[in-house]
Amino acid sequence: MYYHSCPLKYVEYGKIKPYKDEDNWLNPCYDWLGHYCGYSPQIWLSRSNSAITGYRSSNIRKKRAKVDIGKRKQKKIYIDSVMFGFEDIKGFYVEYELWCYLLDFLMNIDSKDISKINNSLIVQLNESVELAKEEGYLKEEEYLMAWDKARDFDVFLKDNLFVEKDQVVVPALNLKSAKKIICKNEKQKKKLRKMGFIEDRIHIKNLKKWDW
């Protein structure tokens, strides 16, 4: 099953499109990905692993909100999130761990030119490989080994990042077609029923762990 987490504020009984937060520091990363998948921003879904959707228990979110008072309002929105499960999703696959690895590079590249961005990524990967060789830990870094073997950026992305594994992005998502809906309390469930979602598909589950 594919899972997507969405704040209740943005839930609609039908098709939703990604909402773009202009202050999101990841926007340049999403735009870079958009060069390959054809759209930006993207709606993200996890394949089988609900832990990487961003859906958490309200208790965990509240504790984290105390750490950063300036973002309390934004965190409050995400405390009220709902998770939707789909049996089959056709989209553009993005491998989770490598995507997270590349984010560290992408978010520090000050350019919108795809060629310049990719050249910077190649330099970063080359430097990381050389450092790993010098320090003797290359064999422990799966993606650095893959890059050291390929040395062709398009091939590297095709064989390692854009693969069917644990994440998929889509330009829009029809929440009405969800086969399972996970919410945290009766209040959320009532709102979802009023929107038109089928009651038998709505389950209350306030997650305490990272996955389930």
**Residue 212 included in any domain:** no
Shared domain check, 195 and 182: yes
Of residues 50 and 110, more confidence is placed in 110
**Residue 211 included in any domain:** no
| Token output for 66 | 């105390």
Q: Distance (Å, rounded) from C-alpha 153 to C-alpha 147? A: 8
Residue 152, domain extent:
110-161
Q: Distance (Å, rounded) from C-alpha 131 to C-alpha 211? A: 34
**Residue 64 included in any domain:** yes
Mean pLDDT of 36-45: 97
Shared domain check, 152 and 118: yes
Q: Rounded to two decimals, what is the model's pTM?
A: 0.85
pLDDT in tens, 134-165: 999 999 999 999 999 999 999 999 999 999 99
Mean pLDDT of 162-169: 96
pLDDT in tens, 176-196: 999 999 999 999 999 999 999
Q: How far is the CA of 153 from the CAs of 44, 130, 148, in angstroms?
A: 24, 17, 11
**Residue 99 included in any domain:** no
